Structure 1
Amino acid sequence: MVEQQADVTDLLLHHVYAPLVEDQHVRGVLPAPPATDAVRVVLGDKGEFAPDRLTAYEIPLRAGDEPRTPHDVAALLRAVHTGTHIYPRDKVGTVMGMTLFTVDPATVTPAPFTDDDWAFTLLRCLASPSTEEYPPARLCGFLFLAPDRLRLYFGAEPDLPGTTAADVRPGGALTALLAALPSLLDEQRLTKTDTDDPHCSRVVDLTGW
């Protein structure tokens, strides 16, 4: 449970600066009290500190016997903070001066995973790789080219001098792409060396991968 809460905290750190939904930023991530398999996330305006202007949501970290992922938590938060939601009396309380809503995921349709979510997750995994899980590929830059295209720049490797760019499509098979990416950077049939991008020596098109 502590590991799950830490993973949620790690993902939501980004939303201290970037809004999670509309104009709402993450103002806190709290481990729920002992014996509660949940996490509490505090939302409010950017830079807000006043408890009466913040809202806390308690979200269970288990879906039956399965753990709920950090992205599941973010999707539920976006859903409950959009539109009108009626909470039973016993699901509304206060904590540290903030209104606290206890979310029942069975009554909520999670918000969909967005292309920006996908891109952010990919960039974080590449910028801080787990070498035990994926072979390292040194990310040294990126550029959003279109809603459905993200260009990744990788530093020189012994077999690939100069910078290699790889175009990927947000919304793809993230885990599979991360695992295969280092070996795909020298895929000749997908490589274009005559490129108008002055920041790289070649571009590998992985949008159809």
Structure 2
Amino acid sequence: MVASKRNRVLAGMMLAIGFAALRSAPAAEVAAVLRAPDFKLSDQYGQSLSIQYPRESACVLIFADQRGSSQVEGWVRPLYSRYQGRVTISGVAELSSVPSALRTMIQGIFKKTIQFPVMLDWTGRVSRQHEYRGKAAAVVIVDPQGLILHRETGKAAVEALERCYEVLDGLVRTEDETPPTAPQDGPAVEQAQRQSRQNGAGGAVRQSDQAKK
């Protein structure tokens, strides 16, 4: 009886620990190696925007419905500041709950309140293809070949941003790596080297003269 009771207590403790771990787990997903689909959507200005793979740079897709829209800026600002011009950052608004009769009005609100282009996913098809579940913002990191490498869901907490930085820094570093150029020989190179040495010596003399004055 005592052993049986002890086993039940231990089993209960293990279950409690398991549920506590689930509740405290961060809203991050190390994405399985899934290929992101090519897609095309119109933004609030009526311009057709497309995401296609392979592409020159990595891509960050930020999905949000109405409930997740308040979390988008917390992601966009730091990511844009850190990777401007090096990573494509695109917002996708999941609008499948908007009635057709209200689409023009909603598009106008986007146009008045958001300056940067936002892809309007009226049917929700593109969001579903990227496994967006709604009710919160979601960040999807895709490499230039179209492989989904990482996901985050919810607010842009410091830890969540750091996880994104780790993935994106690796992608940017890979893109920046280029094979070293072989050294060149010849009269033109020798002349340029002599000129460079002369300029350096002249600069040192001028600095010395200025110091004496």
TM-score range, shorter chain: under 0.3
Q: Which of these two proteins has the greater Rg computed from alpha carbons? A: 2
Could you state the TM-score of these two structures normalised by the residue count of structure 2? 0.24
Between Structure 1 and Structure 2, the one with more helix by share is 2
Q: Which has the higher contact order (CA 8 A, sep 6+)?
A: 2
